[in-house]
Amino acid sequence: MADIESRVRDIIVTELGVEPSKVTPEASFVEDLGADSLDTVELVMAFEEEFGIEIPDEDAEKMETVGDAIKYLTEKEGA
Amino acid sequence: MSTEKRRVVITGAGLITAVANDLASNWDALLSGISGTDTITSFDPSRLEVRLAAEVKNFDPADYLDKKEVRRTDRFCQFALVAAAEALRTAGLGESPDVESDRFGVITGSGIGGIGTLEQQHLVYLEKGPDRVSPFFVPMFIADMAPGLISMKYGAKGPNYSTQSACASSAHAIGNAFKLIQRGIADVIISGGTESSVTPLTMAGFASMKALSSRNDEPEKASRPFDANRDGFVLGEGGGLVVLEALEHARARGAPIMAEVVGYGLTADAHHMTAPAPEGEGAQRAMRQALEDGGLQPEDIDYINAHGTSTPFNDLSETQAIKKVFGDHAHELVVSSTKSMTGHTLGAAGGVEGVICTLVVKEGKIPPTINFSEPDPDCDLNYSFNEATERPVELALSNSFGFGGHNVTLAIKRWEE
């Protein structure tokens, strides 16, 4: 579990160019981490690439916080 | 809009080229006659017929831009942002320019745009499929993102666009910006050009045209404009931007004035996709127009920063054109090609050389045309071969000609009250 979380956090730090300390579970991609619409598309693509999965647009739209992403990807990995 | 012509001055300049990464270092290097050309290092050029270029060196965008800006910008836009910051700094406008936002424009030129990004994303498309193409591909690739990004950084909400006319792109940009300020449509415009296209595909394409020098074994000598043994141009990269400003606006804020823009000529050859018209007929008309626009006589010109690409065709036809326009005076004035040092920065060339002409009139020093070894009997002007020339320069012309038959001449004057 911790492994997935750290992989997700690493991707967010790289893709959004933010300080690791800001990437908390409650942090919102748009509100707290300064992501715009292009960043969020690229972020989802990076998750897909890292975990070898497809994330449908309707699922991607629900991923608003770091915690949302970790939970979603943990469930996908477990499936 | 007033129909009265306002005077337009250059109050700031920024420069990044293969010979140096800032204005002052560029000037020193150019006067010393340093070549920026070497074997390509940004990728493995071993498959290419031409393996040399004038690449910008030791450039780490993270030294100038934040991590996020670096990730979402192509190198050509990074050059533009860096040169814009330097131009604003030298103009005394700093990081938060105190200019009325809708009177503050950005007009830059780029011949190609982010072709490095295009090549990389096309590989992604082929190898991983369309779903993996980055959402940043289009915004990073399009040439107009350079003026767009500069406007966002500095709150410049006036005229904003990119000009595209191959190697005349940024000369058109400066000319257009000059006219907009002259006619009262804007007060301050950041203008010039940027290009970064030393990529495998671009190199292969220009090599296929036989446009490039193939002097792979001595790259530093490959760009040799007006020399008998010239064999093509050297692809360069970089950015050259100026702050153009209405004289009254510059005076009101006590700005340092570097030079004045006084003339703009722009014509088409209507002749051939890549070859210049015989005797540089279109270039002749561009130079004449620039003189006329500035109310100048041929005898007024002390220096011409030539397009001078080091191709057999360009240097011959440009020399012929200069002789046609200037007559006997062609042998009195000094002509030099700084592309002998910076390489040919394509769409950035007009901006880079506009900055150089600004320094020439300001400092009274003319950078040389390096790598001369054997005279070409048909190129018989004073090209300041191998050594800089010190002489007062009241008026300089900058020539820029692009594939497609575009010709632009800018006239830049030493600043006097």
ipTM: 0.85
What digits encode the pLDDT tens for the residues B104-141? 999 999 999 999 999 999 999 999 999 999 999 999 99
Q: Are B27 and B208 in contact (CB under 8 A)?
A: no
Q: Which residue of B has its CA nearest to A45?
A: B132
pTM score: 0.96
pLDDT at residue A1 is higher than 60: no
CA nearest to B246, candidates B167, B186, B199:
B186
Which pLDDT tens digit goes with each residue over A18-31? 999 999 999 999 99
- Could you write out the DSSP letters of every residue in B101-159? GGGEEEEEE-SS--HHHHHHHHHHHHHH-GGGS-TTHHHHH-TTHHHHHHHHHHT--S-
Whether residue B125 lies within 8 A of chain A, CB to CB, comes out as no
User: From the CA of A45, how many Å to the nearest CA of chain B?
Assistant: 7
The nearest CA of chain B is from the CA of A43 a distance in Å of 10
The pLDDT score that the predictor gives to residue A68 is 96
Q: Looking at the predicted structure, is the pLDDT value of residue B4 above 90?
A: no
Predicted local distance difference test score (pLDDT) of residue A2:
59
Which of B68, B134, B139 has the CB atom closest to A17's CB atom?
Answer: B68
Which tens digits make up the pLDDT trace of B212-251?
Answer: 999 999 999 999 999 999 999 999 999 999 999 999 999 9
pLDDT at B233: 98
Indicate whether B77 pLDDT > 90.
yes
- Secondary structure element (H or E) that encloses residue B266, with its range: strand B259-268
CA-based nearest distance A32→chain B, Å: 15
* Alpha carbon A50 to chain centroid, angstroms: 11
Measured CA distances, B336 to B149, B271, B346, B396 (Å): 33, 26, 17, 11
Please determine, for residue A79, whether its predicted confidence score (pLDDT) is greater than 90.
Answer: no
Residue B64 CA to chain centroid, in angstroms? 21
pLDDT of residue B417: 78
Chain A residues in contact with B71 by the CB 8 A cut-off are: 15, 17
Using CA atoms, how far apart are residues B333 and B237, in angstroms rounded to an integer?
Answer: 28
Q: Which chain A residues contact residue B73 at CB under 8 A?
A: none
Q: In chain B, positions 70-89, which contact chain A (CB-CB < 8 Å)?
A: 70-72
Q: What angle do CA A45, A49, A55 make, to 5 degrees?
A: 55
Confidence of residue B310 (pLDDT cuts 50, 70, 90): very high
| pLDDT reported for residue B2 | 53
Residue B11 CA to residue B13 CA, distance in Å, equals: 7
pLDDT bracket for residue A78 (50, 70, 90): confident
What residue of A is the nearest CA neighbor of B62? A17
Domains parsed from chain B with CATH numbers? 9-252 (3.40.47.10), 260-414 (3.40.47.10)
Helix (H, G, I), strand (E, B) or coil at B184: coil
CB nearest to B134's CB, from A16, A17, A42: A42
Minimum-distance CB partner of B136 among A34, A42, A49: A42
Q: What are the two backbone dihedrals, phi and then psi, of residue B398, each rounded to the nearest 5 degrees?
A: -120, 120
Q: Which of A22, A38, A49, A51 best tests the B interface by mutation, with the highest count of B CBs <10 A?
A: A38
Largest CA distance in chain B: 64
> What pLDDT score does A34 carry?
94
Check CB contact under 8 Å for A38 and B70.
no
Q: What angle do CA B101, B105, B109 make, to 5 degrees?
A: 155
Structure confidence at residue B3 (pLDDT) = 61
C-beta atoms of B131 and A45 within 8 A: yes
